[in-house]
Structure 1
Amino acid sequence: MNYRHAFHAGNHADVLKHLILTRLLALLSKKEAPFAYLDSHAGLGLYDLLGDQASRTGEYLEGIGRLWQATQLPDAVEAYLEVVRAMNPDGELRYYPGSPELARLLSREQDRLQLNEKHPEDGRLLKDNMRGDRRVAVHLGEGWLVPRALMPTREKRVLLLIDPPFEKTDELQRCVEALNEAHGRMRQAIVAIWYPIKDERQLSRFYRDLQKSAAPKLLRAELYVHAPDDATRLSGSGLVISNPPWGLEDELKQLLPWLADVLGQSQGGWRLDWLIEEAASGKP
C-alpha cells in the first residue's frame, strides 16, 4: 500500500469532498433523531500541512490555501472553515481536518461514528487522534467490507462515506458493489462516494454501473480545475450521493459555481445532475 493521503491533504478534491460532507452532516442534524457516520477509508483524521508529506507536494496551496484567503464566502462554507480556523487559532494555515475529524466535531452527543482504516500506521494514528471520544469506534480492516460488517446500524439514519485510494483499476467497480451492499442492508442509507476525474473511459463505465445500481436516487456533483478531458493529470473530482437529504441539491447549485471560480486552475468547471432520479410514486 503506497497511498498516504497526507501527500494530498487539503487539495481541491479534499475541499469538495469535505464541504459536501459538512453540508450532509448539517442537514442530518436538523432532525433530533441520532445518526451513524461510517467511513470506509478514513485516513488519519488530522494532517499537518507543513509536515514532510503535505509540504512535499504543496497541493493544499491550490485547495484549502485558496479558501483560506477568499472573501465573501457563501454561508454554506462557514461550518467547514470554522473547523479549519479552530485548528489554526493563530491565523496561519497549518493543520487540516480529514473527514473523521470533521464528522467528529460536527456531529452531536447522540450520534455515533464508526471509522475504518486499513493502512496499519495510519490506523494507529487515527486511533490516537480519536482517543477520548466515546462516540467513536476505530476499526483496522478492509474498507470494502464496511457495509457488510457495520450495517445495518442501530440508528435508523446513516451516512456512509466511501473514499478509497484508487490505486487499483477495479476500485470504481468496487465502489458500486459497496453501494449495492449498503442499500441491500439499509435502503434509506445516505452513501457518498468520492472519485477522481482523470480517465474518461473508466468514468463512463462507472456512471453506467451507478445508473444500474440499487440506489433509490443518486445525485452527481463534480468540480473541475482543469479541462475534464485532460487525462495527463487530475482534472477534478466528484461525489455521487445516494438518498441526498432535502436541500442539498439547492445548496450545491450555489456552492459549485463558486468553488469552480475560486479553485479553477487552467479551466474551472462543475456539473450537478441526477444519475438516478427518485421513482414516481405511481399516484395520480
Structure 2
Amino acid sequence: MNYRHAFHAGNHADVLKHLILCRLIALLSRKEAPFAYLDSHAGVGLYDLAGDQASRTGEWLEGIARLWQAEDVPDQLLDYLEVVRAMNPDGVLRHYPGSPELVRLLSREQDRLQLNEKHPEDGRLLKENMAGDRRVAVHLGEGWHVPRALLPTREKRVLLLIDPPFEKADELERCVQSLNEAIGRMRQAVVAIWYPIKALDQLKRFYRDLEKSAAPKLLRVELYVQSTDEAQRLNGSGLVISNPPWGLEEELRQLLPWLAERLAQGQGGWRLDWLIEEKAPG
C-alpha cells in the first residue's frame, strides 16, 4: 500500500467529503443519545499544507483555499470552516484536518471514535495525533475488515466512513461488500462511501451494485469541478450515504450549487438523488 493522503489533503474532493461528514455529525448530534464513528481508512488525521507532500501537488489551492476566507458562506459550511480557521489562528492557511480530527473536534463527550489505518507510518502518526483523547481508539488493521471487526457497536447509532485509496481495480466492489456487511450487522447504520469521479461511464457497474445492495435507503451526492467526459484526471467526487439523517438531503440541495460554482475549474456541476428510495410502510 503506497497511497499517502497528504498529497491530496484539502483538495476539492476533501472539501466535499469533509463538509458532508460535518453535516452528518451535526445532524446526529441533535439527539442526546451517543453515536460511534468508525473510519476504515483514516489517514493521519492532521495535515501540513506547507509540508513536502501537500506542497508538491498544491491541490489544496483549488479546494479549501477557495473557501476558507469566502464571504456569504452558507450556514451549512460554518462548522467545517470554523475548525479549519481555529487550526490556523494567524490567518495563514497551513494546517488542515482529516476526517478523524474533524469528527474528534465536532463530536461530543458521550460519542466514541474507532479509527483504522493500515499504512504503518500513517498509523503511527494517527496514534500520535489522537493521543490524549480517551474517546478515540486507533486500530492498525485491514480497513476492509472494519465492519465485521467493529460492528455492531454498543451504541445504538453508528456512522461508518469508507474512504479507501482506490489503488486497486476491485475497490469499488469491496466498498459495496463492506456496505452490505455493515448493514447486515447494524441495519440502521449510517454508512458513507467516498469515491473518485473521472469519467461517469466508469461508474455504471458501481451504481448498479449499489442499487442492489442491502441498504434500506441510499442517497447519492456528486460534485464535478470540470467535465466528466474524459478520464485523465480527478474531475469530481461523490459519496453514497445509507440511512442519511433527516434534513441532510434538503441541506445539500441548498449547498451544492454554491459549492459547485466556488470549486469549478471548468464545466462544473452536481448531482443529488436516491439510488435506493425508502420503502413506504406496508
Q: CA deviation digits over 1:205-235, x for unaligned, max 9?
A: 0000000000000000000001122211111
Aligned to 1:210: 210
Aligned to 1:104: 104
Q: Distance in 2 between matches of 1:42 and 1:173?
A: 19
1:18-37 pair list within 5 angstroms? 18-37=18-37
The alignment's TM-score, normalised by the length of structure 2, stands at 0.99
Query: Letter of the aligned partner of 1:260 in structure 2?
Result: A
Query: Letter of the aligned partner of 1:83 in structure 2?
Result: V
Aligned to 1:47: 47
RMSD between aligned residues: 0.6
1:244-259 pair list within 5 angstroms? 244-259=244-259
Q: Distance in 1 between matches of 2:228 and 2:273?
A: 16
Q: CA deviation digits over 1:71-112, x for unaligned, max 9?
A: 100000000000000000000000000000000000000000
Q: Once the 2 structures are TM-superposed, how far is the Cα of residue 198 of structure 1 from its aligned partner? A: 1.3
**24-33 or 64-73: which moved more?**
64-73
Query: Letter of the aligned partner of 2:247 in structure 1?
Result: G
Which runs of 4 or more aligned residues in structure 1 lie more than 6 Å from their structure 2 counterparts after TM superposition?
A: none
Q: Once the 2 structures are TM-superposed, how far is the Cα of residue 200 of structure 1 from its aligned partner? A: 3.1
Structure 1 counterpart SS, 2:177? helix
Structure 2 counterpart SS, 1:20? helix
Aligned to 1:240: 240
Aligned to 2:94: 94
Q: Distance in 2 between matches of 1:133 and 1:40?
A: 19
Q: Once the 2 structures are TM-superposed, how far is the Cα of residue 268 of structure 1 from its aligned partner? A: 1.2
Q: Distance in 1 between matches of 2:83 and 2:32?
A: 22
Q: Distance in 2 between matches of 1:69 and 1:101?
A: 21
Aligned residues: 282
Aligned to 2:150: 150
Say whether the 8 Å CA contact 2:147–2:182 is kept in structure 1.
yes
Q: Where do 5+ consecutive residues of structure 1 fail to align?
A: none
Structure 1 counterpart SS, 2:220? strand
Structure 1 counterpart SS, 2:67? helix
Structure 2 counterpart SS, 1:118? coil
Aligned to 1:133: 133
Aligned to 1:64: 64
Q: Distance in 1 between matches of 2:69 and 2:266?
A: 19
Q: Distance in 2 between matches of 1:108 and 1:31?
A: 11
Say whether the 8 Å CA contact 2:199–2:235 is kept in structure 1.
no
Q: Distance in 1 between matches of 2:251 and 2:76?
A: 7
Structure 2 counterpart SS, 1:210? helix
Structure 1 counterpart SS, 2:279? coil
Q: Where do 5+ consecutive residues of structure 2 fail to align?
A: none
